[in-house]
Structure 1
Amino acid sequence: MAKKLTLVTGGAGLIGSQIIEDLNHNGNTDILVVDHLGTTEKWKNLQRNFFQDYFEKDKFESLLDSNNSLLNEISEIYHLGACSATTEKDATYLIQNNFHYTKKLAEFAVSKNIPFLYASSAATYGEGEFGYNDKAPIENLKPLNMYGYSKQLFDLYAKKMGIADKLVGLKYFNVFGYGEAHKGEMRSLVLKGYEQIRDTGKLKLFKSYKPEYKDGEQKRDFLYVKDASKISIYLLSERKYGLYNIGRGIAETWNDLANAMFAAMGKPVNVEYVEMPESLKGKYQYYTCAEMEKINQTGYPFGYTNLRDSVAEYVRLLLEETT
């Protein structure tokens, strides 16, 4: 039987569901979705998409372990499934979900010569003391939290085992967009802030505890989920193997984001700077910005949506939910 199925793990998540939507727009509905829906509202992300079949993660792992014949139909893999909570403290859980599961899938893909894309993270860069260069050696990186370390472990494993040049690894920076409502405290500030501004007319931002950064002037490389999806599909479909930063290469402040949100909602800017939880103070990134030379050299042709336009579109979609 000819291979035809696209496997998308984490297919009900923010990036995964957008990738499926874009694959649908490209005429592909031969998609196998894997996720863990649990009691969240994540299932709603599947409603807008078309696919052949769905498996819970545990069931799919059993298919992998038994070498089920369905696996012979897989032609490419987008592995977005993981625990994405940067505040998760259960290291055993993170190792199992973010490291061992990725190892198992990658080894399967390499053994069958199946194109494989996986989600690493900008969290692997820690405080950025070694920069944000995806061409630099990864061995010295020191993530600030266990989530980042669980992602770093697989990057290191792939390099050590000599398979990194047979995979597409993506260090996503601050991705936001429609389809993240299920993420609880890990939702982007755009969604949290939309609710705050809608309900109170005010947005809360963390104070700064470093003198070189004023309150709200901490910086992030914000990336719209539609752009994250386009980049992901391009790199895998064009077989551009390697480990890449996925951002815009532009660092903007939380105040910039706040201004974009108030503008999108047609309300006057009203920001309150609040204390950061003690549990975050030593694990908080004050600056992230993707160095983009490596991905630019692949010939990626589509460009990126600026912050104000992406926030405006996202807010419009949120408003449409309530009308």
Structure 2
Amino acid sequence: MIVITGAAGFIASCLVQKLNSEGYHDLVLVDDFSDAGQNKNFAGKRFTKQVDREDFVSWLRENQLHVQFVFHLGARTDTTEFDYALLNRLNLDYSKDVWNTCVEFGLPLVYASSAATYGLGEVGYDDDETRLEQLKPLNPYGESKNDFDIWALKQDRKPFFWAGLKFFNVYGPNEYHKGRMASVIFHTYNQIMKSGEMKLFQSHNPDFKDGEQMRDFVYVKDVTEVMYFLMHHRKDSGIYNLGSGTARTFLDLATNTFKALGKEPKISFVPTPEDIRDKYQYFTEAKMDKLKSIGYHKPFHSLEEGVEDYVQNYLSKGEYL
């Protein structure tokens, strides 16, 4: 069996589809399955069992002989969450329990970290593990992810293979339930369909013009390809960036969304909300040399390719991956 935590969520449910497409159906899905909106993400997919996240660690201990691989992708991912106790319970302590159980029973583990750990990029976006304690995340979510990365590296006992993946700005099908935390592409599409235009955030940084803030947007199909590769690779443990490796502007993103819809761009700018203005990343770009160095050489979707596929084959049709 292959275990996927956070399985009702965005990236994990796309991983379930990737595994199904490769012939893997003996999957155990772990999550809080009380959200009907999220449950649509795994409708029609093939799996063996659902396990409530509160029961998972004990279930894993009891069923470890049947488990081949663990993808721990479940987390509290809201970057505006300031309940430290909740984040410590779900993102730090829970992950430690999963890690320690994998160590005890010799199970390989891939877990979700985040590019939110890099903060404003004061020391760059290099997945050099010696720099982790220098990073300055901008919010408690990023802190919780960095805290776990640091903890994992300090452990004397580690899974025989493990990888922490620093996801950059992932977009794609199955993020319908994420609300404010959904990708800018998702919000751009919905704004265009509702009003015929897109309002992007103004720049409050003199080094960037309006709309020229840059992020590393990575298509979820590329993310699942990397995870599938790691499931078979099972060596070269460590922490890896997972982005496209190329920063693009929000204007590029919005313009390509209009193009995928066959519409002329109509873009204006509004002030960045004050509650996120001081913690806003103006530039992110994953340094991808480390992943390439262990043999991953598949090309990533360009922003143009990813947006076109997402808009035309999923958003416009209300389809799930």
Q: 1:83: Cα distance to partner?
A: 0.8
What is the aligned partner in structure 1 of residue 154 from structure 2?
160
Q: Who is 1:278 aligned against?
A: 274
Aligned to 1:187: 182
Q: Give the aligned partner of residue 86 of structure 2.
A: 93
Aligned position for 2:140: 146
Matches within 5 A, 1:27-38: 27-38=23-34
1-structure distance, mates of 2:7, 2:218 = 19
1:18–1:229 contact (8 Å) kept in structure 2:
yes
Aligned partner of 1:237 in structure 2 is 232
2:77 is aligned with 1:84: yes
Deviation at 1:160, TM superposition (A): 1.2
Matched to 2:155, the amino acid is M
1:88–1:146 CA contact under 8 A, matched in 2: yes
Structure 1 unmatched ranges of 5 or more: none
Which residue is equivalent to 2:315?
A: 318
The runs of 4+ residues in structure 1 deviating greater than 6 Å are: none
Counterparts of 2:35 and 2:229, CA distance in 1: 33
Deviations 1:98-124 (A, max 9, x none): 111111001111111111000000000
Deviation at 1:164, TM superposition (A): 8.1
Shift of 1:49: 1.4
| C-alpha contact (below 8 Å) 2:107/2:160 kept by paired residues | no
Name 2:6's counterpart in structure 1: 10
When normalised by structure 1's length, the TM-score is 0.94
Q: Deviations over 1:232-271 (max 9, x none)?
A: 1112320142100001110100001011101001111111
Give the counterpart letter for 2:240 in structure 1. Y
Residue 137 in structure 1 maps to residue 134 in structure 2: no
Q: Distance in 2 between matches of 1:164 and 1:218?
A: 39
For 1:172, give the aligned amino acid. Answer: F
Select the residue among 292, 295, 320 that pairs with 2:291.
295
Match of residue 96 from structure 2: 103
Task: State the distance in 2 between where 1:164 and 1:304 align.
Answer: 29
1:50 matched to 2:46: yes
Q: Percent identity?
A: 41
The count of corresponding residues between Structure 1 and Structure 2 is 315
Residue 267 of structure 1 aligns with which residue?
263
Q: RMSD of aligned C-alpha atoms? A: 1.4
Superposed displacement of residue 48, structure 1: 3.3
What is the match of residue 217 of structure 1?
212
CA pair 306-318 structure 1, distance change in 2 beyond 3 A: same
Q: Is the 8 A contact 1:203 1:271 kept in 2?
A: yes
Alignment partners' CA distance in 2, 1:184 and 1:38: 17
Q: Decide which of 202, 222, 229 is 1:227's aligned counterpart.
A: 222
Local SS of the residue matching 2:132? coil
Deviations 1:135-181 (A, max 9, x none): 25211101000000000011000111133884111000000000001
The AA in structure 1 aligned to 2:146 is: Q
CA distance in 2, matches of 1:321, 1:141: 39
The 3 A distance-change label for structure 1 pair 165 and 156 is farther
CA distance in 2, matches of 1:158, 1:39: 30
Aligned residue identity for 1:128: G
Question: 1:73 Cα deviation (Å)?
Answer: 1.2
